[in-house]
Structure 1
Amino acid sequence: MVGRRVDRMPIRLVERRPEVSPDRLLSECVPPPRFAPVRFETYRPDPAEPSQADALAVLVERGRVLAEPRRQRSWWRRKPPAETLKPGIYLDGGFGVGKTHLLASLWHVSSGPKMYCTFVELTNLVGALGMRSAVDALSAYRLICIDEFELDDPGDTVLISRLLRQLVEAGVQLAATSNTLPDKLGEGRFQAIDFLREIQGLAGHFDVRRIDGPDYRHRGLPVAPEPWTDDAVERAAADRPDASCDHFVDLYRHLGELHPSKYGAFLDGVQAVGITDVRELTDENIALRLVVLADRMYDRDLPLLHSGISLDRLFPPEMLKGGYRKKYLRALSRLIALAHAGMDAPVR
């Protein structure tokens, strides 16, 4: 008699409510696995784009300085010794020109203590710890690298402006990447003079370096794969070890009950994510939560199995024309890449 195979029960993300300690939040502030092996030596500037080689040279020199042990301040000094470098370096440029590669390379060569996070992770960290605790914890770092720097929300503008001013005063070096020059951050979305003043104050902390060139990965969004059926997603999730499977609406409602700083722990032990009945989004709050989840999935290289609409229809045209356009396009690019990886999942 042939034994009948027993299907695994997929992980239900909606049943998870992780608790994350401040120590864990800080310990996870390192480059994601896909950027763990990068170094300055592995960056290949485009000969047709001299700004790439120029940026590399500037970062290598800054890395040489930061590789040296941090100088100790005398007990009577209230401010750090004068630096020959500005407190921060800011890499601006389009997608796929190697900004994150250079940022992670700087982190790797620098002496500690050091921290690497995305802008969204930084705002979530401050929200989880509180401003005073965040300043106390982050002031101990020699270098803080901030990827995908963006100010498209007035609350974040004030929050991060205040944080960075205090960190610079404490002698922390900053490095950031973005797709917008720092004196243009927030432009086209908020015109209030108070926020413009905050943005201008941030800009003065950075030595701006523009990196030009075409996206080495692709132009525009990749083509989204065809969605699976609900049954196919559920079967594939049952077949794969440590795969999750949740209904789209249940999942985004559950995300609304968790602080975004917990989304990484939310995915602990998950090797693939199954989502059934994906629908077009109509609520911007839900859309922004899914952007954070997409980032955490992408950091962990989690294949996506999904049914419902095609992923390129997830964000409606009005959202893709709004102030959060870059966030949504980044999320789409990442989710589509993960969905292509999910196409390799076995289906009975």
Structure 2
Amino acid sequence: MASVEHLTDRAPKVSVEELLDGFYPSPRFKDVSFSSYRPDPSQPSQSAAVRGLRAFAATVDEPEPSGLRKLFGARKAPSRAGIYLDGGFGVGKTHLLASLWHATQGPKAFGTFVEYTNLCGVLSFRKTVESLSGYNLVCIDEFELDDPGDTVMMSRLMRELADAGVKLAATSNTLPGSLGEGRFAAVDFQREIQVLADQFDVLRIDGEDYRHRGLPQPPAPLSESGLRDHVRNYSGNGGVLAEDDFGDLIHHLAGVHPSKYRQMLDGVEAVAWHRVSTITEQSVALRFVVLADRLYDRDVPIFASGVPFDKLFTDEMMHGGYMKKYYRAVSRLTALARQGGSVA
């Protein structure tokens, strides 16, 4: 029987060690592999991406030059330090990135772009470089540049890790040379953006969002009485059903650093949100995107009343500089709402 708690009562404290220990694929992707990826037969770029990543995995595990070759300065093969998976929402980029992580030997790190920027904030940039320079592979999921400071910091981080011999792999919905477009004056930071682009070979993955491929339309929100009945009758699997008023949850998130959202969801097997409403403030919306990502990572079903998730963000947001963040969040929340509709 599930216990009912409130996310608004949770404000976890996370140590630096716990932050460092968290750089591995989420539970949703803990058992994935190249073999478990199902390419769309009508999209040959998906099968090509698997082949390219298998070949890249072999370069990660190649031993460093030694003996006379190392003594006389053997040169590395003239390949770029990283591989970059570009494609739309739901084509399986994170699945493939996690498969690469599982297919290679350690030490290695796997995290989202936001988690790496948080790491730099907690450890300092220099200590982050020192911590990651001894790794064989660093995987960066959902690579997005939100402001000029992040652009400069991440370009430096990737350059220094590449110089240290670390292999890099990243996913995004934007080609490396286009990062930052529509969010800030990209022309003023073109040099830093180009440094990022120069680190990667690009694998384009075409296709439709698999979460919507052949599936019905997203379920309509529950009525308030229906949601209360659902919470009252929910049996679960012995974990926590986190029930919150949406407005209270939004207010609470402002006081919890996004780096702690993962720990805030510990033990939660489903969430119930009362009176979901459209978010109108950009800063609030961006925080909520992080929560949506962490819920998706943990495969947490959602039960909700109020507006449907395709109305969660304003039209202006859905067509603005952060539109890709918001479309990803809507896609993931819709998938979790569908899942909630199938849970008794």
TM-score higher than 0.5 here?
Answer: yes
Report deviation, 1:283: 0.5
- Higher mean C-alpha displacement, 170-179 vs 88-97: 88-97
Match of 1:94 in 2: 88
| Structure 1 position 252 matched with structure 2 position 250 | yes
Report if the CA contact (8 A) 2:138-2:168 is conserved.
Answer: yes
Q: Does 1:308 align with 2:302?
A: no
Distance 1:262 1:209 in 2: 32
- Distance in 2 between residues matched to 1:80 and 1:131, nearest whole Å: 30
Aligned partner of 1:184 in structure 2 is 178
8 Å contact 1:92–1:178 — kept in the other structure? yes
* Corresponding residue of 2:32: 38
Match of residue 82, structure 1, among 76, 97, 103: 76
Tell me, yes or no, if the aligned pair for 2:89 and 2:328 is still in contact at 8 Å. Answer: no
**Which segments of 5 or more consecutive residues in structure 2 lack a partner in the other structure?**
none
Contact 2:279 2:313 in 1 (8 A): yes
Question: Aligned letter for 1:158?
Answer: V
Shift of the 73–286 alpha-carbon distance from structure 1 to 2, 3 Å rule, reads farther
Q: Secondary structure at the match of 2:336?
A: helix
**Distance change >3 Å, CA 271–CA 80, structure 1 → 2:** farther
Which residue identity is paired with 2:108?
K
Q: 1:340 aligns with which of 329, 338, 341?
A: 338
Q: Is the alpha carbon distance of 1:92 and 1:127 closer, same or farther for their aligned partners in structure 2, counting shifts above 3 Å?
A: same
Quote the offset at 1:155 in angstroms: 2.7
Match of 2:167 in 1: 173
**Higher alpha-carbon deviation: 334-343 or 311-320:** 334-343
Match of 2:230 in 1: 236
The change in CA–CA distance for 1:206 and 1:121 in structure 2 (over 3 A counts) is same
Deviations 1:81-120 (A, max 9, x none): 6344311111212233332232222111111001111222
Aligned to 1:198: 192
**After superposition, where does 1:98-109 map in structure 2 within 5 Å?**
98-109=92-103
How many Å apart are 1:260 and its aligned residue? 0.6
Higher mean C-alpha displacement, 32-41 vs 171-180: 32-41
- The secondary structure found in structure 1 opposite 2:5 is coil
Q: CA deviation at 1:13?
A: 1.1
- The answer on 1:155 being equivalent to 2:157 is no
Alpha-carbon offset, residue 184 of structure 1: 0.9
Between 256-265 and 213-222, report the one with greater CA deviation: 213-222
Name the aligned partner's letter for residue 249 of structure 2. Answer: L
Counterpart residue type for residue 324 of structure 1: Y
1:142-166 Cα offsets, whole Å, 9 max, x none, are 1011122122332321221122122
**Count, aligned residues:** 338
Equivalent in the alignment of 1:323: 321
Per-residue deviation at 1:36? 2.3
Give distance in 2, aligned partners of 1:37 and 1:256: 33
Q: 1:114 aligns with which of 99, 103, 108?
A: 108
Distance (Å, rounded) in 2 between the aligned partners of 1:212 and 1:338? 23
- Of 51-60 and 260-269, deviating more is 51-60
Alpha-carbon spacing, 1:161–1:243, altered in 2? closer, same or farther (3 Å)? same
- Residue 333 of structure 1: CA displacement? 1.2
Shift of 1:235: 4.5
* 1:271 match: secondary structure: strand
How far apart, CA to CA, are the structure 1 residues paired with 2:338 and 2:42? 32
Distance 2:55 2:231 in 1: 48
1:334 maps to amino acid? R
Aligned to 1:212: 206
State the AA in 2 paired with 1:10.
Answer: V
Q: If the length of structure 2 is used for normalisation, what is the TM-score?
A: 0.88
Q: Which residue of 2 aligns with 1:292?
A: 290
Partner of 1:66: 60
Change (3 A) 1:217 1:46: same
- Could you tell me which amino acid in structure 2 is paired with residue 276 of structure 1? H
Asked if 1 retains the 8 angstrom alpha-carbon contact of 2:299 and 2:336, the reply is yes
3-state DSSP class of the match of 1:243? strand
Gaps of 5+ in 1: 1-6
Residue type of the alignment partner of 1:210: R
- Residue identity over aligned pairs, in percent, reads 54
Deviations 1:201-227 (A, max 9, x none): 111111122223344443699733222
